[in-house]
Structure 1
């Protein structure tokens, strides 16, 4: 059995990076109290800085009032101690995309939190079933995959593991919708819906550029105008992070075969440390 939405007051978030801080922010702006945890205080403080910057931008766009932004800030606590998540009613893990790290976190969360608390993972490609097997309550483990940037993107992918209960799935949808998100549901297969389709699209855009099909600008312009997407594949890869794209594509390649083989230029860019917007250089230059 898992707690229902009406019983959720405090949300735990494991990870204070781009995704974790974004999840903490949207939960707080939706009225939940939040405990955001990372392994070092420096990372927690960076998460708070990201939240402050994001809230300030939303206030500047008149999407939030100053008082609403201040109230959201007041609702978020930061910690480096996983035990501080003991009183949370749902926990969303947003740590790095490494299976053993996630399994270790879930095993610890299994010990720390009450048995009826849902444990969600924000993984974009890894098996929810494998993550859940690190716990004694796999029925309460579900994928809640937010899109980046979390405060802006409307969609959330709910991923159903082999032993995920119907109650946990229903809670994942209801909780996400309470954050003003729209959900879709996917079985626990590599890449789910979003990255199974998105990553080969990005990968092929990189190949097309590397093979001289068109300039990077024309590849992106062609895809934006031809398919009505807000960003072309190369620009989007820069915004996601080329290292993140490579890791996701490698996972899909391992699971699904050569049709997902990472483009050579993607690997070369990552090896050179040009990871996109976050490093200032990817396929494009950023200030």
Structure 2
């Protein structure tokens, strides 16, 4: 695959969407990001610039090259504005079934060669009804921060063709990542493993076993995880954690039931890094670094 000959788009300019657009652009793909909210679009641009600046400082890429690739990213307000017959369009909107169905249907009208969803928990087969041609549809589940974590979990639906699967694996390799192909089962592989650890850590906080920092320190030190489950939950977004836990509780049973602590935190707006407070005080950390 020659990136320069491939045109891709990402629909949804949140944390994951910005990260996915960034890695494709930095791999040389002609990249478009769709985000209807002007403020969030600016945040996405700033996020990508911040990642590029860090890469430049670590000598991962030359400044002139990075800035040229980033400046070439097009940001559009709607999927309906995308050009037709793109090579790949990835949907990255929040984990809400009705929203994803609507956005995927809009993407399908642009007739891309391959459509992927970045869902971390919803059924690819259920979502395939929105795209028209389920043979050219699958899951491409990225991980945050996208520019650092190497895995892309490729979720094959019942109707996903061999050709579509091969295309997804080729795109994954072209951006320097490793693919793991899994069946369309609730939570796939990674979300089930990740969430069960995060939920148990939250229950430990709820039960007064240890502080979030001590729980995370235990996991990162003993098991060499790069980030503890509670800090990672803050980065992912506690509202996202709650959506996934609620879905898997229904699909797989009460071992995935969201703790009351998580429900309470989301209810009062403590969503993690994006709101400034979650299990950690992100606003204070940012002030300390300033």
Kindly indicate whether the alpha-carbon contact (under 8 Å) linking 2:4 and 2:28 is maintained by their aligned counterparts in 1.
no
Identify the match of residue 260 of structure 1 among 252, 256, 268. 256
Q: Is the 8 A contact 1:5 1:171 kept in 2?
A: no
Unpaired runs of 5+ residues, structure 2, are none
Cα deviation for residue 160 of structure 1 reads 0.6
**Structure 1 residue 5: deviation in Å?**
7.2
> Is 1:86–2:83 an aligned residue pair?
yes
Shift, 1:7, TM fit: 9.5
Provide the residue aligned with 2:227 in structure 1: 231
* SS in structure 1 of the partner of residue 130 of structure 2: coil
Say which is worse superposed, 105-114 or 200-209, in terms of deviation: 105-114
Q: Which residue of 2 aligns with 1:19?
A: 16
Aligned partner of residue 112 in structure 1, secondary structure: coil
TM-score (norm 1): 0.93
CA-atom RMSD in angstroms: 1.7
Report the Cα offset of residue 28 of structure 1: 0.7
Structure 1: stretches of 5+ with no match in the other structure: none
Separation of aligned partners in 2, 1:277 and 1:20: 16
Does structure 2 retain, via aligned residues, the 8 Å contact 1:8–1:90? no
Matches within 5 A, 1:91-102: 91-102=89-100
Separation in 2, partners of 1:98, 1:273: 18
* Residues 40, 214 of structure 1: alpha-carbon distance in 2 compared, 3 angstrom cutoff: closer
Answering whether residue 13 of structure 2 is matched by residue 32 of structure 1, we say no
Report the equivalent of 1:111: 109
1:243 equivalent to 2:243? Answer no
Runs of 4+ residues deviating >3 angstroms = 4-8
Deviation at 1:42?
Answer: 3.0
In structure 1, which of residues 145, 148, 156 is the aligned counterpart of residue 144 of structure 2? 148
Residues 212, 230 of structure 2: 8 Å contact kept: yes
1:10 equivalent among 3, 7, 10: 7
What is the TM-score when the length of structure 2 is the normalising length?
Answer: 0.92
**Counterpart selection for 1:215 from 208, 211, 214:** 211
